Amino acid sequence: MPCPFPGMDPFLERAEIWPDFHDRLISALCAQLQPLLRPKYVALTQDRLFIVEADHSRYPDVAVVHNPSRVVKSSASAVLDAAPDKPAIFELVSEEFRQPLIHIVETAAGNRLVTAIEVLSPDNKQPGEGRSSYLTKREEYRAGGANLVEIDLLRGGQPTVRISAERLARLPRWRYLAVVTRKWPSRQEVYHFPLQQRLPKKLALPLAADDDDALLDLQIAFNRTWEEGPYPELLFYDQPQPGSLTTEEAAWLRERLAAA
């Protein structure tokens, strides 16, 4: 069964499905890139790790044990016999999260990192450890002289692009972004596309300054991921899709599903 949509499938944004799709898409992107990069470069899958500490409160009976009897030490003082107060206990559980990504490295230059490709996850777009870790790593790429490609196939959350919200609002209507941040010349190239449109066909991935860009067809990688994955069995299109849609998008989505 092919995907019923020409581009991104919004039903993949379900929290229980997205991690599997994310990992499979990274593998599909890497497989598509490898023939385009040989022999000077290779595409490697890497993991970015971050730690989240979650608190689970455990409230025991909180009480002050009070003994009304007093022990007289002297005629001038008295000591109250009481046990220490019992605090509420919060157990901190550290959880390690991994997010795969792609590094394009130049083999002749000692495997120098040239370009990093990140497919954003929900926690990269929400306040918290996931976003902080991501933004820190992004600055490390910049300081190290690497290009960065950010692929954002999530409608919700706060975009990670450095462009202001005012400038983004001037773009034609969009739901998804693919952003190329070049080290030289220093600039951001923003591919923006709506729900109803296929994913970019010629996404230009920068390499070393003296080499031409590698052209990535994001839709081909998406189609391979969707068709080889378990999504026809996992996705229930008779249920509401995650997130909100405009009236126009909702009508279009119903038409596509009816036709499929």
| pLDDT one-digit tens code per residue, 34-91 | 999 999 999 999 988 766 655 543 333 333 333 444 444 444 444 555 677 878 766 6
Kindly list the strands in the beta sheet with 176-182, ordered across the sheet, starting from the edge strand earlier in the chain.
41-58, 89-106, 112-119, 147-152, 176-182, 187-193
Has residue 63 been placed in a domain? no
31 or 47, greater pLDDT: 31
SS3 label, residue 227: helix
Average pLDDT over residues 99-108: 94
The whole-angstrom separation of Cα 152 and Cα 162 is 14
Has residue 81 been placed in a domain? no
pLDDT at 58: 30
Percent of the chain residues topping a pLDDT of 70: 84
Contact 113, 148 (CB under 8 A): no
pLDDT at 74: 43
Contact 110, 141 (CB under 8 A): no
Average pLDDT over residues 92-111: 84
Has residue 65 been placed in a domain? no
Average model confidence (pLDDT) across the chain? 86
pLDDT in tens, 113-149: 999 999 999 999 999 888 999 999 999 999 999 999 9
The whole-angstrom separation of Cα 201 and Cα 165 is 26
Has residue 148 been placed in a domain? yes
The whole-angstrom separation of Cα 103 and Cα 253 is 35
Has residue 164 been placed in a domain? yes
Chain centroid, CA 201 distance in Å: 22
Has residue 204 been placed in a domain? yes
Please name every residue paired with 44 in a beta bridge, in sequence order, or none if there are none: 103
107 or 74, greater pLDDT: 107
Q: State yes or no: pLDDT of 24 exceeds 90.
A: yes
Res. 200 pLDDT band, cuts 50 70 90: very high
Res. 92 pLDDT band, cuts 50 70 90: low
> pTM to 2 decimals?
0.82
Contact 152, 192 (CB under 8 A): no
Has residue 73 been placed in a domain? no
> Domain limits at 161?
10-55+91-259
List C-alpha distances in Å: 120 to 85, 152, 242: 46, 5, 17
Contact 47, 22 (CB under 8 A): no
pLDDT at 72: 41
Pick from 143, 149, 140, 139: which is nearest to 115 by CA? Answer: 149
The whole-angstrom separation of Cα 6 and Cα 196 is 7
- Domain count of the fold of the chain: 1
pLDDT at 122: 94
pLDDT at 78: 47
End-to-end CA distance of the chain: 9
Has residue 28 been placed in a domain? yes
pLDDT at 60: 35
151 or 183, greater pLDDT: 151
Residue-by-residue DSSP string for 144-176? TT-EEEEEE--SSS----SS-HHHHHHSSS-SE
Please compute, for residue 27, the number of CA atoms within 13 A of its CA located in the half-sphere on the CB side.
11
